[in-house]
Amino acid sequence: MAHFEIHLTDVARGMAFYKGLFGWSFTAMPGGEDMDYHLIDGDQIGMDKDLTGGVMRRMGDAPAAGAPVRGGTMTFEVTDCDASYAWALENGGAEALPPMDYPGIGRCAYVEDGEGNIVGMITPAEGAA
């Protein structure tokens, strides 16, 4: 896994929770202001480590309490984000978020897998971790 995200209704409250729980710190991601996106830094997570993570403002209604899956997404590294996104849509997936470029990070997209799960894919920017 290359990257994970935690979607939050109240980003400040969520960051405080995860700082207390895991000792994570957070840095606002350049270009992510519209989503209140913050990169996570921790013992095993960070831009200089094998795993990156982020928190961001939820882009829709919060999942119903008690639902079996209510938050985070897994994002996997792919060679071509656009081609993988197109394949997913042609093979039973549905758009969650279309491909977008994140400066210094890469090109990323999200699809629903046909089973109600959201999965992300990223083609890292050249030189990105």
Q: Which CATH superfamily is domain 3-59+71-124 in?
A: 2,3-Dihydroxybiphenyl 1,2-Dioxygenase, domain 1 (3.10.180.10)
The pLDDT tens digits for 68-121 are 555 678 888 999 999 999 999 999 888 989 999 999 999 999 988 876 778 899
The pLDDT tens digits for 3-40 are 999 888 899 999 999 999 899 999 999 988 999 999 99
Q: Residue 125 has which token pair? A: 């920017």
For the chain, how long is the longest CA-to-CA vector? 42
**CB within 8 A of 108, min separation 6: which ones?**
3, 75, 81, 99, 100, 102, 120, 121, 122, 123
